[in-house]
Structure 1
């Protein structure tokens, strides 16, 4: 592809996100789940007809994928690469200068900073803490790039019972550093990050808070992270 063609495609992609409503939809969908048109319209506080127009643009532009079930139109991010793009772009922004208003907004903002999903892997203080602990234990190598070590693969497949084949799905990297927009440091993405998040949810070591992206470490989870990665109780209390 020639440089002018790249320029044209980059401008087209930027135009898709250069609207507050469309950006709001994309950030909401970072929870990795499918939303209905009505749910997104209510979340962004726009009319369903307006939401439909924006969702059509995002779908045709390749950022979202949709499927219909009965009379409902469901949309989700088109894949992990879109999620990583959104998280990386958000991490380049300065923190909002205006503090959230109201007790509910303050609690929501704090919960997202403490721990959340970034599409299908863990982010926030929880995600970065786990990533740092894995690195300290020799399970991740952040010096020679961002990669699982042999010990890291054994840990995931042995200690966490993750099928080896589940770490080799498609062309997605096995491990990738995703720049965290609240911590400003990388957390673990890729298939390893996705399977780790899935396992922690399955074992109820973390739980979702409400219907959004925020997650919280459970008491059993704090014990497990101490046993598996040496994360101490004082640190776990912050998660």
Structure 2
């Protein structure tokens, strides 16, 4: 039975990946900071899909947590979903530097190290997939969050090119606004975000798995966001920043 490891697996996009991969017959390794929620999620997946779920509590902003997940990946997985992430309330440079560094550790260092930990087994078996969850914000200047997600996109494309094996797929997933716990937990005001921009996590994952199967290295789910990214490339960066600030992260 193939195995998938998912970080940030107890809610939102991570939980949607867990449901999708469980339905496809994967055994799961669920990673999150909250051991109680992990156990609950594993139980629900077992009840609904009949798959086994290993729970792996780990804080990816700590050396101990990263090392724990690296060790599990070294045992071998078929799919890695680097989904863990968060946003800081406030704007640069008002956010405390320790909070900014914590974000970079989760969004960048963890993605780098967990990808490197998963690749040797995938290359040995000559198959595997890594999905690094970024954001449409990666294509627009909007503080440290968008900068870190831009790194994820560039890294994923570069890693896929360097690995150079079509049987090992590495893809950056760039959703827009998704109805999850993300904004509430980050203390962000979503009142200014137009309703038509919101996506459902299950729809995002469905699009991601389709794009992965097609061998795409960057996935932007939903035609609305594809259009936004395409138009954004034609707009001066200064105007991009003002529009982004007006509608939120």
Larger Rg: 1
Normalised by the size of structure 2, how large is the TM-score? 0.26
Normalised by the size of structure 1, how large is the TM-score? 0.27
